[in-house]
Structure 1
Amino acid sequence: MTQNPATVTSASLYERLGEVEGITLIVDDVIEAHMNNPVIKGIFIPYKDQPERLASIRQHTIDFFSAGSGGPVEYKGRDMPATHKGMAISAEQYMCVMDDIMSVLEEHGIDETSKKDVLAILWSLRKMIMGK
């Protein structure tokens, strides 16, 4: 999915990530990466035994990334502090989440500008998620 510079500058982040189809593939791979990451897998592995809950989290994540990247999708989930309340996510865990996401974007051939845009969004969310 490598794009030329003209496409990158004129397309929204949502479009550059492949719209709902591309974002769905990215989210699926990120969930898998989280479940294999030794630092954070303990947070995610229990959802394997809760397929309905995992499906709900997956859909909320797809909608969140779609809406947050400029797509015509409405996110109907809870806000970030409410979603992560009681999880006490550490800085190390948050960095692992970011690393997993960035690695998946690389695997999907997402361009550097788009990866930087996603990184900026993730960085802006950290205070709403960490330590809650």
Structure 2
Amino acid sequence: MTDTSLYERLGGETRIRELATTIFDKHTQNATIRNRYTNTDRDDVIRLVTEFICNGTGGPQAYSGRDMLTTHRGMNISEEEFVAVVDDIVEALDEHGVGQREKEELLMISWSLKPEIVRV
């Protein structure tokens, strides 16, 4: 085992921003969820997702967005949509060559957020 943070193992802010960009682009092409991204500011969403992942994986960045519950309240996100988001994340992680351990850690984080996202 290593004491290296997930943030460092993911390659730091630059690599995480690349990952966030791929995730956003996949979401906008995913028929199940793309309507959720209509009229969104691509750069702003990518910035917030980058901050969120960096902060949540041990990076020094502050997250300037709203908490997950506040962000998703009233959106009535379905289980199917949540799974579509996670599937896009898995595809992006694979495309970026993220290691299995890191992938599992990020997926555990994603699934832990489900109660703050689905049907709230």
Instruction: Sort the TM-score into its range (normalised by shorter chain).
Output: over 0.9
Q: 1:20 aligned to 2:8?
A: no
How far apart in 2 are the matches of 1:77 and 1:31?
16
Shift in Å at residue 28 of structure 1? 0.4
Structure 2 unmatched runs, 5+: none
TM-score by length of 2: 0.94
TM-score by length of 1: 0.86
Partner of residue 54 from structure 2, selected from 63, 66, 70: 66
- What CA deviation, in whole Å up to 9, does each residue of 1:71-122 have, x standing for no partner? 0111121100111122111011000100100110011000000000001000
Partner of residue 107 from structure 1, selected from 83, 92, 95: 95
The alignment covers a number of residue pairs equal to 120
* Moved beyond 4 Å, runs of 4+: none
Shift in Å at residue 46 of structure 1? 2.8
More helix per residue: 1
Partner in structure 2 of residue 95 of structure 1: 83
Q: 1:85 aligned to 2:73?
A: yes
How far apart in 1 are the matches of 2:29 and 2:87?
13
- What CA deviation, in whole Å up to 9, does each residue of 1:56-80 have, x standing for no partner? 2221111010000110111121100
Structure 1 unmatched runs, 5+: 1-5, 48-52
Give the letter for the 2:106 counterpart: V
Larger radius of gyration: 1
Shift in Å at residue 35 of structure 1? 0.5
Q: 1:125 aligned to 2:118?
A: no
Give the letter for the 1:13 counterpart: L
How far apart in 2 are the matches of 1:105 and 1:115?
7
Percent identity of equivalent pairs: 37
Shift in Å at residue 17 of structure 1? 1.2
